[in-house]
Amino acid sequence: MSDAFWRGAVNRRAKNLALMKPFFDLEANKGMQVDLDDYDMHLLCSVLMEAIIAEMGGITAGAPYSAVLRELSKVVLKVNPTASAGEVDRIASHIIDHLSSGRGRDHFEVSYQIIAESGAVEKLSHVYRLLEQRLSPEDELVYVATSEAIHIYLSGLGHELEAEQAANDAILEHYLRRGKHKEAGEAADMERKRSVELRAQLRGWLIAAERSFDEIQYAAKVLPELAEIRQRVEARGPVEQRQIEEIQSRALQLPPGDDGRVNLINARKAIEDASLEHTRLLAELQRCSRTLLDWQSHHRFRRGESPAIPDPLTGFLQPLLRLTHAELAIAIPRLWPLLLPPRLPVVPDLPALLDSLLADTREPHELSELEPMPENCEEIAGPNRFSPEVCAAADALLVTLGDSFSLSAALGATAAKFGPNSPEVSYVSVLVPRWFELDADDEHIARPTGQAISAAGFFGDELTVTKGTAA
């Protein structure tokens, strides 16, 4: 083995081993925050990664939490059949919190040593994430595995992706020839994951290229690399087609319902998925190639992390919190609006204003987060109207009071007959004051006496009621 080959291999593997630290940390510290002693975190991480990578090939290009929960619960319930849904959720959330570096707030940083060309040992560090959160086209949160995570998960300890794919092809062929259909299915599924990995790798590479224009050499480095990836992806097409045909012909030789046949059908599905993944990748490659060319010609690359950005805690927040109110009163009017998005000014428009003012109903507007959500609003039952029976009973009582009576006397008589909390008392308390308004068709006239009501439980001006109409 040549020295350079040996050095390259051990360096790559050292780095890959270092990158696994977050998984080991999760297992080592499983009892510290959440009691997870019964569970093997390596297994749970593996299940979680499997669920996420599988969903990355789907429409949402990532796994929603429900998918992670569903897959994880299968294993959790095997370890602890009495585990509640809450416990599965707690475990899933704990693993995601850790592997996504505090839900995207942070990164992992590992240090590792390599053997340099000179033979000396050098220390390097690598900053990375294992899981990331993204928004699906429907603005739902989904989880994706980074290329580092996929690589680690697929046990790629220092191999080249292309070499791994070639090896995988050979394995699949071997299993098919030997009639090991279950293993062939697994190998096919691995093909699909490798294609997801290739896409994630390209994406990461593109981001780096997009943001560091000054540091990349388009003609010397980018173009050949793009061509190489495209060649590699294009070469997958015939291979996958051959594999599908091979599987198809073997599946047809087996009787329907046979386990081997089912495994082969699954294998074909996995390869078809991988093929679809490669088609998407090709489309992305073509778009990326055009865009890079355009950037190159117009020098439109953007820089990424700006050295001018202060440290958010020590360079921004702490100095701000140290200012006194008097200083903040000056500083905040200048600083605070910087964080607010642009405000859309309202242009004077008299016709629209008049339309709006005279409109029967307002235009429906987009629901604001500051308003309560409709589903959280409780329906409040309105008060029951007085029933005809209640009205009739109270009217009959008022007739017995004669042609002239006071409001207090009416309330007292009603309370004495029907009870102080009866609806009849409420009805009289509403009916009599209405006569004060002197509607033309009222048969009674109510006039204030200048004194207060003397009936228990009521407050307000006393009225004297006399029979007759205002007209």
Partner 1 sequence: MTSEQNGGIYEAARLLRLALNARETVARSADYQQLLQRFHTDPEFRDTAHQIARGLDLQIIELARDIGLAVVNIAEGPYAPTLDDFRSNLRARERIVYGLLLAMLTAYVYPSRRAVGELDDSSVVSIELRALVEWASTTSRQMKSITNAEDVANADLRAGFESIAVLEPFGDGQNTLQYRFRYVLNWLADHGLFLRREEGGRELWIARPHFRVQARFLMLSSHDRLIEFLGARVDGTSNPTT
Residues 360-419 that bind partner 1 (CB under 8 A): 366, 368-370
Assess contact for 57 and 273: CB atoms under 8 A.
yes
Q: 326 or 350: whose CB is closer to partner 1?
A: 326
Q: Does 134 bind partner 1 (CB under 8 A)?
A: yes
Q: Does 338 bind partner 1 (CB under 8 A)?
A: yes
- By the 10 Å C-beta count (0-12 exposed, 13-18 middle, 19+ buried), 324 is classed as exposed
Please report how close the Cβ of residue 16 comes to partner 1 at its closest, in angstroms.
22
Q: Burial letters for 224-259: b for 16+ Cβ neighbours within 10 Å, e otherwise?
A: eebeebbeebeebeebbeebbebbeebbeebeeeee
**Could you give the CA distance from residue 181 to residue 324 in angstroms, rounded to a whole number?**
73
Cβ contacts of residue 270 below 8 Å, gap of 6+?
A: 185, 188, 189, 191, 192
Q: 326 or 357: whose CB is closer to partner 1?
A: 326
Residues 279-318 binding partner 1 (CB under 8 A) are 290-291, 294, 297-298, 300, 302, 304-306, 308-313, 315-318
Please report how close the Cβ of residue 178 comes to partner 1 at its closest, in angstroms.
43
Q: 91 or 267: whose CB is closer to partner 1?
A: 91
**Alpha carbon distance, N-terminus to C-terminus of the chain:** 119
Selected from 40, 228, 327, 389, the binder of partner 1 by CB under 8 A is 327
Indicate the DSSP class of residue 220.
Answer: I
Please report how close the Cβ of residue 295 comes to partner 1 at its closest, in angstroms.
9
Q: 10 or 330: whose CB is closer to partner 1?
A: 330
Please report how close the Cβ of residue 304 comes to partner 1 at its closest, in angstroms.
4
Q: Does 70 bind partner 1 (CB under 8 A)?
A: no
Please report how close the Cβ of residue 59 comes to partner 1 at its closest, in angstroms.
11
Of 275, 141, 120, 147, nearest to 205 (Cα)? Answer: 147
**Could you give the CA distance from residue 20 to residue 304 in angstroms, rounded to a whole number?**
27
Please report how close the Cβ of residue 334 comes to partner 1 at its closest, in angstroms.
7
**Could you give the CA distance from residue 76 to residue 181 in angstroms, rounded to a whole number?**
29
From 111-119, 133-141, 147-155, 380-388, span contacting partner 1 (CB under 8 A): 133-141
Pairing of strands 121-128, 63-64: unpaired
Q: 65 or 458: whose CB is closer to partner 1?
A: 65
Q: 42 or 300: whose CB is closer to partner 1?
A: 300
CB atoms within 10 A of CB 56: 22
Structure tokens that stand for 298 in this block: 């117009």
From 102-110, 260-268, 380-388, 418-426, span contacting partner 1 (CB under 8 A): 102-110
Residues 141-170 binding partner 1 (CB under 8 A) are 141
Q: 337 or 460: whose CB is closer to partner 1?
A: 337
* Count of positions on this chain that bind partner 1 (CB under 8 A): 77
